[in-house]
Structure 1
Amino acid sequence: MIDNLSAYLKTVTRLTFFFLSVCCVCWAVFPAQQAWWGGLVIGTIASLVNALHLGWKVIRIGENAAAGGNRRSTLGYVTRACIGVLAAVIATRTFDFRIEAVAAGLIVAQLATLLLGFWTIRKRERTQSLDERGENN
């Protein structure tokens, strides 16, 4: 399971970096909307950091449970919320980017994870046989 999670995190990271590169190209091509594209970039970076932090916490909790530890752990919601607030503060106070774009960027990695999950389920359904014994009649 942990190997699958690491592979999914790597794929989500690649998809997020691809989205970031598209945003940077659009920022260069459409200079009138720099405030929007910059906010989207800041929000997307914060979204990726949140996704990687959540993946790290899930791996740690899984390792603790597998080792038989009884230490209680949380998924770090407050930390992830603070990362989102920090991105909003940096975007508005330092760079004067649009807060709406930051909010939209904060869901990019989670949306990529959702789409990757749907794609994986659909791929698994296509490869599985419909009959019990696995033969085609």
Structure 2
Amino acid sequence: MDELSVRLKALQRVTFIFIAVCLLGWAFVPSMREIAAGIILGTVVSLLNSYFLANKVRNVTKVVLQDGRKRVNLGLLTRVAMAILAVMIAIKSDGVNVYATVAGLLFAQFIIVVIGFVQVRKEQ
């Protein structure tokens, strides 16, 4: 398994645990339901964006290794559109906090950095 797959699998595990904790908070703390729903929405979109980016990176790597002159991109507009869609859903929904959604959108990036540091420490 390549390094990207290992990190994605770790990100998936951490994200699912975090979403489970947020669901418990949503279920047992009624005053935090809007915030928990926003964080869950943002975190799910963040995880989907991470999968999409990983797929694009694999495709770019494959094209470069085949010495192709094919034009490739990393799908920035698609990932931005998914983030904007999540924020629009949060704005239109009464039970979802917009600020929590935006914070959830940053979850995967933050966690992947932490995972990288942990894996580098294990290798030393």
Partner residue in 1 for 2:46:
47
Structure 2: runs of 5 or more not aligned: none
TM-score, L = length of structure 2: 0.94
Q: Secondary structure at the match of 1:74?
A: coil
Q: How many Å separate the matches in 2 of 1:63 and 1:52?
A: 17
Partner residue in 2 for 1:30:
29
Contact kept, 8 Å, 2:37 with 2:95, in 1: the verdict is: no
1:78 shift after superposition: 0.9
Q: How many Å separate the matches in 1 of 2:123 and 2:37?
A: 37
TM-score, L = length of structure 1: 0.86
Q: Which has the higher helix share?
A: 2
1:85 shift after superposition: 0.5
Equivalent position amino acid for 2:83 in 1: G
Please list every run of at least 4 consecutive aligned residues from structure 1 whose deviation after the TM superposition is greater than 2 angstroms: none
RMSD, matched Cα = 1.2
Partner residue in 2 for 1:122:
121
1:96 shift after superposition: 3.8
Deviations 1:66-105 (A, max 9, x none): 1111112111111111110001111221344111100110
Contact kept, 8 Å, 2:33 with 2:95, in 1: the verdict is: no
Structure 1: runs of 5 or more not aligned: 126-137
How many residues were matched structurally?
124
